[in-house]
Amino acid sequence: MHACACTERHEPRRVVLTGGPGAGKTAVLEFVALAFCRHVTLLPEAAGVLFKGGFPRNGSNSRLRAAQQAIFHVQRQLEEGTVEGNAAIVVCDRGTPDGAAYWPGPDSLWDAVGTTLEAEFARYDRVIHLRTPADGNGYNYRNPLRVESPREAMEIDRRIAEIWDGHARYEEVPATDDFLEKARHALNLLRAELPECCRGSVSKSLVT
């Protein structure tokens, strides 16, 4: 993040950047860190925080349910930790509804954590969904935490789209042969969420 001439006091707005495995979220967030100003806060993916720390992720359905409940609560606390800053937007690497795409059942994630999908939607002002590319069109295993096959990644991506589609400000960024085209699309959507006082500070080379 770089300097910004803006001296305004901001009311932070949460923007979710979501997508199935291999969609390019990590790369887009790296571009955001390079191109956007200090009034943009980036939150890490809660699942990555837990799994990098050794939280078990495979096995029985009870273990899978435990993982998703833990991810939900870590995500909530990561978001709450930004309330006192002066961010114009808080870009979340996934939001709490994403966990429903990984929930094995038979009950719902919302019953397990004592909330509703509608209440979770209300936490986020904007949702940008990077679609996962098909097999042979950019999907790879460069991320060491990625364990899904291309087919599994596409199915997770489909479920994410199905869950978030009910959000009033949900928009998809389709997979493209040229990833930079996809990244610019996402960056321009994020830039549009900034207040006017911060938009001018965004690096033009990455959003045009």
Residue 138 has pLDDT above 60, yes or no: no
Give me 140's structure tokens: 């790879």
What is the band of 141 on the pLDDT scale with cuts at 50, 70, 90?
low
Q: Name the CATH code of domain 13-207 (choices 3.40.50.12500, 3.30.360.10, 3.40.50.720, 3.40.50.300).
A: 3.40.50.300
- Reply yes or no on whether the pLDDT at 172 is more than 70: yes
Q: How far is CA 24 from CA 2, 43, 182, 195, in A?
A: 22, 16, 9, 25
- State the pTM of this model: 0.91
- Comparison of pLDDT for 95 and 202, the residue scoring more: 95
Tokens of 126: 């904007």
Give me the percent of the chain exceeding a pLDDT of 90.
72
Q: Name the amino acid, one letter, at 130.
A: L
Is the pLDDT at 45 greater than 60? The verdict is: yes
